[in-house]
Chain A
Amino acid sequence: MLDYLFAALTPLNILLAFAGVAAGTIIGSVPGLTATMAVAVLVPITFGMTPESALILLGAIYTGAIYGGAYAAILLNTPGTPSAIGTTFDGYPMAKRGDGDLAVTIACLASLVGGLIGAAALLLLAPPLATAALAFGPVEYFWLAIFGLSLIAALSTRDFLKGLIGAAFGILIAMIGVSEISGEVRFTFGSTTLLGGIETVSALIGLYCVPVLIELAARSERHLQEPEATRGFRLPEAFATVMRQKVNLLRSSVIGTLVGALPGAGGSIAGLVAYSEARRSDRRQPPYGRGNPGGIVATESANNATVGGGFIPTLVLGIPGTPPDAVILGALLVQGVRTGPTLFNEGSSIVYTFIFGLFLATLLMLPVGLLIGRFAYGSIVRAPKAGLVPVVAFMTIIGSFAIRNSLSDVGIMLVLGIVGWVANRRGFAVSPIVLGLILGRIAEEGFVQSWTIGEAMGSVSGQFFGRPLSMVIIALTAMSFLYPFMPALKRILKRGGEEAMPEKSEASDPASRAAILRDLAGIGTMAAVAIIALWQCSTLNLEAAVFPRTIATGMLVLCGLAALETILTRRVVEDRSSGSLPRRAGVPLAMAAGIALAPVLGFAAAGIVMAAGLMLCAEHDRRSARGWVILGISTAAVIVIFTMGFREALMVPLPRGLLY
C-alpha cells in the first residue's frame, strides 16, 4: 500500500494534482462550465501521460470543478454546476448580509472533508459499496427522485401549493424534446430549437442568474454587503462553524458517498438529499434557506463526496458513477487500459496510485480553493454594478453556449430567466421549478421502467411499493414532506384540533382586489400550461404520455386548489419589490440583442454591444467621463479575454461573425 502512496507522490504527480485542482476550480466557478466539460477538454492532454498521471490530473480537475461551483452559487445565486443548487439556498443569503467570504471558506472546508471521506470510502469500501449500489433498481431511483422533490415542502414554506405547482411546471418542461426511453418527440410544437430539450445547466443559469441581474440593475444598493475592512479568509471562524456542524458534515459526506456510488444519481441529488436531511435535524437560527451555514456544509460536503463515491462503480464495475466518470473511463479505454473489474483486480497499481492521487488533490484544494475563493469574492464584492452586470451577463451567455455549443440553448436560458423572474413575482419560487426540471427526468425514467417490469411480472403495485429498499425511501419521503407541517400537526393533536389555526391571524391584511386578480392570473397561466400539456399528450403513445399526463392532471388540480385558497382567504403571496421598470426591461432586452447579434458580429463584439446596453441599465452612481472610459475598456477586455479563452483553450466553437 505504501508503495502506491509513494508512487502517487512523485513531483510530476503533485504538480499535476495542483494544476488540475486550480484549473478545475476556475473552470467550475464559471456558470455553465461543468465538471464533465472540464474533464473532456483536458482528455487529449492526458494521452501522452502514463495512465496513473492521467487519472490523477483528471480526478484533480473533477474535484476542483465540483468545489468551484460553490463560488457562483454563493456570490451570484447561480449554481455553477447542478451539484451546487443547495449551496445557493443559504450561501447567497449569507453573502447578501456580508458573510460571503465566510461562506466561501466554509464551502472549502466542507468540500475538503466531503472529498476526503469519499476518497476514503473508495480506498476501503469500494467492492461492497459497488455491490450494494446494484440493489438500486428503477423503482428506487423513482422514489429517490420523489424524495428529492419532497424538499419543495421545505423550500416553499410561504406557499406550499405554489411550490408544488412550480415543481409540476419544472417536470413538464423537462419532458420537452426527444424522449430517450420512449423514442417519441414531445412538446416541441414542431420547433427544431426545442428538439434537444431544455438543457439543465443552461436552464439553471437562466432561472437563477437572470432574475439576479434584473434586480441588480433595478436598484441602486450594492450587490453584496461590503465588509468594513478586509478580514482575511476568516478561517478560524469558518472552522468553528464547521465544527458545530460536525454531525451534519459527517452525515452529508456519507450521503454524498452513497448517492455518488449509485450510477443513476449524481451530485445534484446527493446535495439535495443531504440538504433536506440537514434541515430536518437542525433547529438553530437563522432557519435554513435564510443563511444558515449548515446548508452550505451539507451541500458542499455531499457533492464533493460524490467524486470518490462516483469512482466506486466506475472502477469496480466499469459503470460510470457520474457523467465526468464516463469521460474518464473513455480516456482510459483510448489509452488501452482495460477498465472495469479487471482494472480493479489486476491493474491495482494504477487504481491505488490514483486513489492516493485523489487524496492529494483533495488536500491541495484547501490552499488553492481558499486563494481562488478569496479572489472571486474580492472581485465580485468590489466590482461596480455597471461592470458586474455586463460581465456576469456575458458569462451566463458564453457558459450556456459552451455546454452544447448551441446558440438555441442561450436563447432558452434567457427566456427561462424571464419566466423565472415573472413567476417569482407571482409567488412561484424558482427552486421548486428547478427541482422539477432536474428530478422529473429521473422520476419519469424510473416510473416507466418500473411500470414495464411490474406489468411483465404481473404486479405493478408490488413493484412500486413491495420492495424493502423502496419502503425505506418512501418512509423518508413522507417524513420530509410532513416535517414543515409538524408544528401545526402537534398543535392539532394537543388541542383536539379546534384551535389549530391561531397563526393565521398574524398573516397580513387581506390583499387588494388587484393583487387577487394578479394572483389568479398567475395561477391561470400555470393551469393553461397544464391544459396544453394534456392536449399534447393525446397524440403520444402510452409510454411517452403516461408520466406527463399524470403530472399535468395533478398540476391542474393544484391550480384549482390554489385559486380557491386565494379567493377564500384573500391572502396573496407575491414579491413586489420597488425599482425602475425601464432598467428591468433593459436587462433582458440588451441580453436578447447580444444573443441575436452573436452570429452576425461574432461572440465578443456582440458581447461588447450588449455590455454597453447593460452598463446604462445598471449604472446608478454619477461617473466621470474618464470613469466611463476605464470601466468600458476593462469590461470589453474581460469579454475579449473570456472569448479567447473559450475559443482557444477550451476549443468552444463560438460564432466568429464579421468581427470577432
Chain B
Amino acid sequence: MRKTIIASLAAITLSLPAAAQEFPPGQVEYIIPFGPGGESDITARMQQPFFEALYDEQLVVSYKPGGGGAVGWSQLNSMAADGSVIMGINLPHIILQPQQGNVGYQTDDITGVYIFHYTPDAIVVPTDSPFQTLDDLIAAAKESPRKITFSGSGKGTANHLAAIRFDQMAEVETTYVAFKGTAAAVTAMLGGQVAAEWGYTTVGVGQGDQVRLLAVAMEDRHPAFPDVPTFRELGYDLVSGAYRGIAVPRDASEETRRAVSDTIGKINADPEFQKKMLDGGFALTDVAYGEEMDAWMKAKADEFIPAARAAGVID
C-alpha cells in the first residue's frame, strides 16, 4: 500500500511541469458535454481516426452530458491541464448560457483553441410542401402573421436565434416551436405538425429527397446542395449556425494551447476529413487559437446576444 502511495506521489510530482511536455502527453481524453449520437459526438468520431494517425496515440471520446452542456463546461477548468484532456465547445451555448442564469461558468472561463466546423442554419420543408422557394414562405407569413409554424431544436439555440433574426430581416412574424433536439424537430416537420423547420444543412443530407432546403445561412453554397441558395443571395444577411470547437482547461500552458490548436487545424486540412465532413452536410471553419479566436468570439457575442435579447431568452 505504501509503495502505491509513493508511486502515485512520484507520478504527481513528475507530471507537474506540464508546460515542458510535448503534445500529446499520451492518450488524450476528448470530452463531449452532450450524450452520444449528436452532431458533437459524430464530428468528434470523425476526427478520432485522423488524430490517431497523426500521433499514434488514442483519442478517447467520452461524454459528460447535462444542462445542455453546462455540466461539462462548468467542470472544464478543474481538469488536467497537460493536454491530456480536451473538451468540445458549442456556440451559441457558451455565449448565452452564462447570461441565462447561474450555470457554473462564465464565457471567459472557457479557453477555446479552435473552431473547426459549423452546421449552417437552413429552412427545411417536406418535399410535398406548398413552399417551393423562400419567397413563397415569406409571402404566406406576411398574409397570416404568426400562423406559419417552425419546429427547431431548443430555445436560445442556433435555430431559435436564426428564426428571430430572420423574422426581423424579412419583417414577418412566425411561430417558433422548440423541440428537444434536431431529430424531434425533423420528425415534427416531416409529419406536418409544423409548416417548416429551422434546421441545419445536415438535415438535408440525412433526410435526402424527403425534404427540400429553401435557403442556407452560409457565405457560399454548400457543396452537397449546389442548387440551394444562400440567404445572402436572396437579400438577407444571415450567416449562422451551431459552431463547434475545442477548449482546454484554463491552466493549460501557451504551448499546449497552440499544440492542440495546430492539431485540430491539421486534421481540418486533411482532404479526406474535409470530404467526410462535407458529405455529412457539415461546413468547415478554421478559427485558430490567439487573437483570431478572441476577435471571432467577440463578433459572435455581438451577433448572438442582441438576438437572444429580442427572443426573450435573456434579460
Contacts and interface: CB of A to CB of B under 8 A. Distances in A.
Interface of A: 36-37, 39-40, 43-44, 47, 134-138, 177-178, 180-185, 188, 190, 192, 195-197, 199, 263-264, 313, 317-320, 323, 325-327, 329-331, 333-334, 336, 338-342, 404-406, 445, 448-449, 452-453, 455-458, 541, 543, 651-653, 656, 658-660
A178 B183 contact: no
Contacts of B191: 134-137
B235 interface: no
Given A330-B45, A406-B66, A192 B104 contact: yes
A445 B179 contact: yes
A541 B42 contact: no
Given A181-B179, A183-B154, A44 B48 contact: yes
A318 B42 contact: no
Residue of B61, B160, B207 ringed by the most chain A CB atoms within 10 A: B207
A453 B149 contact: yes
Interface of B: 1, 4-5, 8, 29, 35-38, 41-42, 45-46, 48-49, 60-68, 70-71, 74, 96-97, 100-104, 146-147, 149, 154-157, 160, 175, 177-181, 183-184, 186-188, 190-194, 205-210, 276, 279-280, 312-313
B35 A36 contact: yes
A633 B254 CA distance: 48
Contacts of B42: 330, 333-334
Given A183-B100, A330-B42, A199 B66 contact: yes
B183 A43 contact: no
**The 9 A-B residue pairs with the shortest CB-CB distance in the complex, in nearest-first order:** A196-B66, A326-B37, A134-B191, A183-B155, A192-B104, A183-B156, A185-B101, A456-B175, A137-B193
Contacts, number: 193
A457 B1 CA distance: 70
Given A181-B154, A330-B45, A651-B60, A195 B149 contact: no
A264 B181 CA distance: 11
Contacts of A182: 155, 178
A263 B187 contact: yes
A457 B148 CA distance: 9
Given A138-B193, A184-B100, A263 B183 contact: yes
Contact of A341 (B29, B179, B207): B207
B210 A43 contact: no
14 contacts: A37-B36, A138-B188, A181-B178, A183-B156, A183-B160, A195-B104, A326-B37, A329-B37, A406-B64, A445-B180, A452-B178, A453-B149, A652-B62, A659-B4
B65 A196 contact: yes
A47 B42 CA distance: 13
A338 B156 contact: no
A452 B38 contact: no
A659 B205 CA distance: 49
A545 to B, nearest CB: 13
A541 B178 CA distance: 15
Nearest to A328: B37
Contacts of B63: 40, 404-405
B193 A658 contact: no
A185 B4 contact: no
Given A199-B66, A406-B71, A264 B48 contact: no
A43 B45 contact: yes
Given A325-B37, A330-B42, A659-B1, 8 more contacts: A40-B63, A134-B191, A138-B193, A180-B181, A197-B67, A317-B207, A327-B37, A404-B64
Contacts of B49: 47
A453 B66 contact: no
A588 B193 CA distance: 48
Contact of B187 (A177, A319, A660): A319
Given A336-B279, A340-B206, A341-B209, A326 B313 contact: no
B155 A180 contact: yes
A175 to B, nearest CB: 13
A541 B146 CA distance: 20
B184 A263 contact: yes
B184 A658 contact: no
A190 B101 CA distance: 9
Contacts of A196: 65-67, 70-71
A181 B65 contact: no
A453 B187 CA distance: 15
Contacts of B188: 137-138, 449
Contacts of B209: 341-342
B65 A319 contact: no
Nearest to B203: A318
A181 B180 contact: yes
A656 B9 CA distance: 12
A306 to B, nearest CB: 16
Given A185-B103, A195-B66, A334 B45 contact: yes
Contacts of B96: 183
A197 B35 CA distance: 14
A456 B146 contact: yes
A657 to B, nearest CB: 9
B5 A658 contact: yes
A591 to B, nearest CB: 22
Given A181-B178, A320-B183, A341 B66 contact: no
Nearest to B79: A653
B284 to A, nearest CB: 16
